[in-house]
Amino acid sequence: MRTVRIEERDLGKTGLRVSALGFGCGNVGGLMIRGSVAERERAVARAVELGVNYFDTAPSYGDGQSELNLGTALKAVRAPVYVGTKFRLDAADLRDARRAIGRSLDASLQRLGRERVDLLQLHNPLAERRAESALAVGDVIAEVVPALLALQAQGKTRFWGITALGDTPALHRLVGAAPLDTAQVCYNLLNPSAGLEVPSGFPAQDFRRLLGAAQERRVGVIVIRVLAAGALSGVTTRHPVAVPKVDPIATGPDYASDVERAQPLRTLVTDGHVESLVEASLRFPLSNPAVSTVLLGYSSLAHLETAAAAVAKGPLPARALDRLTAVWALSGR
């Protein structure tokens, strides 16, 4: 069965061509953590059939369970795909970042059953000064970047990047100063500020068009939180496999607030531009040429089918984007 086929896009300057729709293996959707073996393998096989070739995981997803389950599913499916994982550091790790990152990566490779990954990404948020889980951007440039370049030279990862969360000035500083291959960027209908100028008073973090900065440096952009952890479905109920409660990232103060803010966006459905709010959410980031792939976590095979059908329609039309501009202008008041 192959009703749609996902397009491929350049992943920045890496030379890789990745599917416009990626496969997120995190805790929010939960399929690769709490789904059955049969459900996981069926979803991975179907994703590959649809043309999905980028799979994203991390040690923190289910305490390593996501990496383990993804490795098992890929072995069963025997598909040539790209795999990305991540690492987190604490302040003590910065004394020997290369060793700390290497130790994390070795554990990930063992769980995945692979000799290398295609993409290794820093999972900490960034700040101008170190605070809680956030790393100071100066420390990242001085300690983390050289460690990643060394691991890349060893062949344990083909490319490397960051999860672009934290303070906006710190993110722009790192994208402008470091030879990143990729950045995972929050870019969705509740917070389009990474790609578009937002009105004064916009009720979310302003990423100040981070996508443009990434594009200038030929950094491949992986869009995360495209459905705002499910809030852009427009309903508060969650799938049984999904994580029961989730905190927003760079949008509202809580999940219920995000669902409420999503309601005015339904005008895209009533105006006939899309069939659903989920479709609008998935097609929106594809309208930005800086975007390489849109990462989505799944709770079921049906979610994957719905996402693939939406992405296969391509970017939102200009009239829909114009309508969004009017909606966002009202939200800033």
More confidently predicted of 221 and 203:
221
For residue 3, tell me if it sits in a domain.
no
Sign of CA dihedral 198, 22, 173, 228: positive
For residue 251, tell me if it sits in a domain.
yes
In angstroms, the CA 213 to CA 154 distance is 29
Global pTM reads 0.96
For residue 176, tell me if it sits in a domain.
yes
Number of separate domains in the chain: 1
| Residues of the domain holding 263 | 8-331
Q: Compute CA distances 69 → 46, 61, 206, 268, whole Å.
A: 16, 11, 36, 37
Average pLDDT, the chain: 94
Write down the pLDDT at residue 51: 96
For residue 42, tell me if it sits in a domain.
yes
pLDDT surpassing 50 at residue 333 = no
Task: Summarize pLDDT for 17-28 with one digit per residue, the tens.
Answer: 999 999 999 989
For residue 202, tell me if it sits in a domain.
yes
Between strands 135-136 and 126-127, the pairing is parallel
For residue 130, tell me if it sits in a domain.
yes
H-helix segments, the chain: 31-34, 37-50, 65-77, 97-112, 137-139, 145-154, 168-177, 210-216, 255-262, 267-270, 277-283, 301-311, 318-331
For residue 246, what pLDDT band results from cuts at 50, 70 and 90?
A: confident
For residue 47, what pLDDT band results from cuts at 50, 70 and 90?
A: very high
| Least confident segment among 21-25, 177-181, 200-204 | 200-204
CATH classification at residue 87: 3.20.20.100
Question: Which residues, other chains included, contact 84 with Cβ-Cβ below 8 Å and sequence gap of 6+?
Answer: 54, 55, 56, 57, 117, 118, 119, 120, 121, 182, 222
Contact indicator for 244, 255 with CB cutoff of 8 Å? no
In angstroms, the CA 225 to CA 232 distance is 10
For residue 292, tell me if it sits in a domain.
yes
pLDDT surpassing 80 at residue 3 = no
Expressed in angstroms, the distance from the first to the final Cα of the chain is: 48
For residue 1, tell me if it sits in a domain.
no
